[in-house]
Structure 1
Amino acid sequence: MHALIVVAHPNPGSLTHAVGHAISAGLAEAPGAHRGEFADLAAEGFDPRFTQDDIAVHLEGATPTADVLAEQARIARADALVLVYPVYWWSMPALLKGWIDRVFVNGWAYGTGADGKVEKRLRHMRVHLVALGGADQRTYARHGYFGAMKTQIDHGIFGYCGARVVRSELLLVEHGEDGAPQLEQARDLGRSLFAREDPVRDLAG
């Protein structure tokens, strides 16, 4: 099985990158012929800006640009999509949001059926979300930040396309921690990525 692990952080020495590599390492340790493809959006220079070309794809059904087609192709090759990112202002970084804006487009991720209703075209996709936050658990719980993130990202993005969010993890690193517990969690996630059919929340409604 093949997992596409997408990491969005400008610093290759960040904990975000380390978590992504730990997931890949855990996947390699799991029984079976599994492999992980590591997509470092910052290092690859993916342009997250939504341009006139992207508007034409959305409104007029134009053919996406070559960089978008390449991203769609490597997503299509994967049996699971794993997004690893730091929490910026209680959401994902602009780089990752722009990747979703440009890649998960009308005509590919979703469409309009003959009855005028939305067609969810990614029902086959299994998604694992791994967010890294710097605030403590009380902050996220008191203000409802993680719940809001799930509504926006799990349901608002992937549910709209019919994709199945298998895991939605928030790894919190408190002041003074070295990140070791989070890396072990990430390795465990990699080991179990294809171990079983995890319970999946129905986000397609």
Structure 2
Amino acid sequence: MHALIVLSHPDPASLSHAIAARIGEGIVAAGHAFEIADLHGEGFDPRFLPGDRASHRGLAPRPADVVAEQKRIERADAVVMVFPVYWWSMPALMKGWIDRVFSNGWAYDDSGEKVIKKLGHLPIHLVGIGGADMGTYERHGYLEAMRTQIDHGIFDYCGAPVAASELLLQSDGPDQSNNLHAAAVIGQNVFG
């Protein structure tokens, strides 16, 4: 099986990149394959432009860069999204990728009386990397807010089941061996 790891972090030497690589190692150790979509490294444009709007309304074809990303997803048996937590959510670049790529007509269809969810076959694994501890997330309701917004608000709307929603925390500490080990385990479990 094949996983697409979507990564959003500007620094190739970041913990986010190391965690994405470790997830990939876990996927390979479990006998599967993966590719990484490095949104910063590849220069993905997250802006929802007039062409995206026209496509959303059924007045124009999808932009070529969006079609290319959708084809990458179509080759995958699962998508793993790795991102640092910025302001209790994902970075703007990753959100812009979702805004453009998980488009009307492809991820869902809202042209009728009822929304048709089109991604029921695509398990999603979310891996957020945060500097705070779990007590902070729970005390302020951030964990529930993230799950409501991302897990339910985005992926359930498209029908894509969220197979895992993980937070790897205290990413500012000097020893990241626990987070890197957890990432390898996440990779080993992507397909079961």
* Superposition TM-score tier, normalisation by shorter sequence: over 0.9
Residues 174 and 44 of structure 1: is their aligned pair in 2 closer, same or farther, counting only changes over 3 Å? closer
1:60 is displaced (CA, Å) by 2.8
Q: How many residues align?
A: 192
Give me the whole-angstrom Cα distance separating, in 2, the residues matched to 1:45 and 1:24. 21
Map of 1:15 onto structure 2: 15
The alignment status of 1:53 with 2:54, answered yes or no, reads no
- Deviation per CA, 1:88-120: give whole Å up to 9, x if none: 001000000000000000110000365x10000
Contact 1:4 1:74 in 2 (8 A): yes
Q: Runs of 4 or more off by more than 6 Å in structure 1?
A: none
Map of 2:33 onto structure 1: 35
TM-score, normalising length from structure 2? Answer: 0.97
Give me the whole-angstrom Cα distance separating, in 2, the residues matched to 1:14 and 1:64. 33
1:136 is displaced (CA, Å) by 1.4
- Deviation per CA, 1:55-75: give whole Å up to 9, x if none: 101123421111100000000
Contact 1:8 1:93 in 2 (8 A): yes
Among 144, 154, 157, the alignment partner of 1:157 is 154
Map of 2:145 onto structure 1: 148
Map of 1:81 onto structure 2: 79
Gaps of 5+ in 2: none
1:176 is displaced (CA, Å) by 3.1
Aligned sequence identity (%) = 59
Give me the whole-angstrom Cα distance separating, in 2, the residues matched to 1:174 and 1:27. 22
Contact 1:136 1:174 in 2 (8 A): no
1:177 is displaced (CA, Å) by 3.4
Residues 42 and 132 of structure 1: is their aligned pair in 2 closer, same or farther, counting only changes over 3 Å? same
Give me the whole-angstrom Cα distance separating, in 1, the residues matched to 2:172 and 2:5. 27
* 1:44 aligned counterpart, secondary structure: coil
1:192 is displaced (CA, Å) by 1.8
Gaps of 5+ in 1: 197-205
Q: CA RMSD in A?
A: 1.1
Contact 2:168 2:179 in 1 (8 A): yes
Residues 9 and 174 of structure 1: is their aligned pair in 2 closer, same or farther, counting only changes over 3 Å? closer
The alignment status of 1:118 with 2:115, answered yes or no, reads yes
1:141 is displaced (CA, Å) by 0.8
Letter in 1 for 2:119: L
Give me the whole-angstrom Cα distance separating, in 1, the residues matched to 2:48 and 2:37. 20
